[in-house]
Amino acid sequence: MAFQQRLEQAQKQILTQAMLQSLHCLQMPSMELREFLQEAALSNPLLDVEDTPYDGPQPETLEPAPATDIPIERREQLIWDGGGAETDFTSCLSRPQTFREYLNAQLGQTAPLDAETLVLCRYLVGCLNSAGYLDCEVPELAEELNVNAQDLEQALFVVQSLDPPGVGARSLSECLLLQLAQGNEFTEVNIHLIRFGLPLLAENDYASLARLLSVRPAEARRAGDVVRALNPIPSRGFSSERGVAMVAPEAVIRRTGGSLVIEMNEGAVPHVSLNRDYSALVGDPNCQEAQLYLKEKMAEAKNLLNNLENRHDTLFRLLSALIRNQEGYFLRREDLQPLTMGQLAEELDVNVSTVSRAVKDKYIQFDGQVFPLRSLFSTALPAGGSAEAARRQLRRFVEAESPDRPLSDEALAQALAGVGFALSRRTVAKYRGELSIPSAAQRRRKS
């Protein structure tokens, strides 16, 4: 055997803390961002955070403006309909562990992960919606981060292995199948029910369900009980990121004649600036020993200010696009038009994950009501993945099956389809052979 030394050049993007901060700033709602900025100021003397009381004056009365094509006006004002009562922040001093905190704590305790995979896992946890689902496509997220999609899929595989079962799923069927695979009822009948029989189960039509599953009605009813016992919302039972009392609208949408005005809620986020005294010390020859520290903190401060400005502009662009697409709803009280995050991302020329992150846990106020931005969309959960990810999931399903009732290749194909891998029975058999997994008959004989 001959050993050779070769020099190869490869380009690889590392997800830096600065990039993560930019993503997190966009994703955080106003009240969470407020606390984040206060903590940042404690660790960086070059940052000044002016945290003024949140309740403030109402916007001035607006004169109706002549409309052309849904003119949208931007106003930077303090907006809060808190009724003049002072905000009680003492309720935030002690609170239950949130769903996201619970998942991140597990990531620090699981089997050893390399630093890059751990960063990607924490990033994916931050992308989960309030129900615990991942409603962004992995290739889109990988493109946004400029990382390998397979690396991100591996990180998602880790997240989906966390407790509670079903977290990180991209569809209801995937959520239920991930839970089923962690119990003792991972059978062909139950898999088939989740893949094709959920509408019949919702209607309690066990006769039709029995025909669909090719089993007796009593067995169909037992399978239905198994599936009903699963949890379609993994985050259920955990504290939300903030209580209802702490929800603050990112903006107020107002009708002024035939026009619409977007009044950004500047008062919800403290004013952040550079501290003049400490900034003046950067480059000062009398403070040579502190120059490295000061320059590092200056770079952090400028990066944070830039991220805040980007968050502000992105939210306004997104709100403007939403208003244009939902003109009838805001101006004439018509029904909402079908609109997906992908369509809006294409219109704004941004990644769909940017749109998803921008609307996550964000609220707006309109006609005296506060409602989530996400409610203005009608989205479909994605599916997809690489062959490597499909093989990993195949091995997970085989390990979860009952030794007395091993899954056939057809059943494995259905289970994989339920979690986003549309593979034929022949392809499943090929992957199974590549993983050195015996056939169902051989696995039964070995049990």
DSSP string, 286-317: GGGGGHHHHHHHHHHHHHHHHHHHHHHHHHHH
Query: Is residue 319 within 8 Å of residue 251, measured between CB atoms?
Result: yes
Average confidence score pLDDT of the chain: 76
| pLDDT at 151 (0 to 100) | 86
Q: What is the pLDDT of residue 66?
A: 35
pLDDT at res. 292: 82
Question: What band does 5 get if pLDDT is binned at 50, 70 and 90?
Answer: low
344 vs 59, higher pLDDT? 344
| 108 pLDDT more than 80 | no
132 vs 389, which has greater pLDDT? 132
Nearest alpha carbon to residue 72 among 318, 265, 348: 318
- Give residues with Cβ within 8 angstroms of 140, minimum separation 6: 351, 352, 353
pLDDT over 50 at 234, yes or no: yes
Q: What are phi and psi of 423, to 5 degrees?
A: -120, 145
Pair 230, 216: CB distance under 8 Å: no
Number of helices (H), then strands (E), belonging to the chain: the values are 20, 7
pLDDT band at 323 (very low <50, low <70, confident <90, very high): confident
Higher-confidence residue: 27 or 317?
Answer: 317
- Check residue 3 and give its pLDDT: 52
Q: Alpha-carbon distance 420 to 183, whole Å?
A: 20
In the predicted structure, residue 16 carries a pLDDT above the cut 80 = no
The CA-CA-CA angle for residues 325, 328, 333, to 5°, reads: 135
Q: How much is the average pLDDT of 30-58?
A: 75
Q: What is the pLDDT of residue 50?
A: 82
Q: Distance (Å, rounded) from C-alpha 46 to C-alpha 300?
A: 9
Q: What percent of the chain has pLDDT over 70?
A: 80
| More confident of the two residues 15 and 265 | 265
Q: What is the mean pLDDT of residues 413-429?
A: 82
Whether 64 has a pLDDT exceeding 60, the answer reads: no
| pLDDT given at position 63 | 34
Contact 47/301 with Cβ under 8 angstroms?
yes
pLDDT at 344: 86
Q: Are 132 and 168 in contact (CB under 8 A)?
A: yes
CA 330 – CA 253 distance, rounded (Å): 8
For 131-162, write each residue's pLDDT tens digit. Answer: 888 888 888 888 877 888 888 888 888 888 88
Looking at residue 402, what is its pLDDT? 78
Q: What would the mean pLDDT of 118-135 be, rounded to a whole number?
A: 85
pLDDT of residue 80: 35
pLDDT for the residue 378? 54
User: Per mean pLDDT, which range of 76-80, 354-358, 397-401 is the poorest?
Assistant: 76-80
pLDDT above 80 (res 210)? yes
More confident residue, 416 or 9: 416
Q: Is the pLDDT of residue 287 over 50?
A: yes
Model confidence at 12: pLDDT above 60: no
Q: Mean per-residue pLDDT for 44-54?
A: 75
Residues 22-34: what's their mean pLDDT? 81
Mean pLDDT of the 5-33 span: 68
Q: Say yes or no to pLDDT of 72 above 70.
A: no
Mean pLDDT over 235-249 rounds to 64
pLDDT of residue 84: 39
pLDDT mean over 43-56: 72
The pTM is what?
0.56
pLDDT score recorded for residue 8: 53
Say if residue 79's pLDDT is above 50: no
More confident of the two residues 280 and 15:
280
Q: What does the pLDDT average to over 308-328?
A: 88
pLDDT top residue among 16 and 85: 16
Closest among 327, 277, 279, 268 to 72, alpha carbons compared: 327
What is the residue whose two structure tokens read 């949130």? 98
pLDDT of residue 73: 52
Q: What is the pLDDT confidence band of residue 81, given thresholds at 50, 70 and 90?
A: very low
Which two structure tokens, joined as six digits, stand for 161?
């292995």
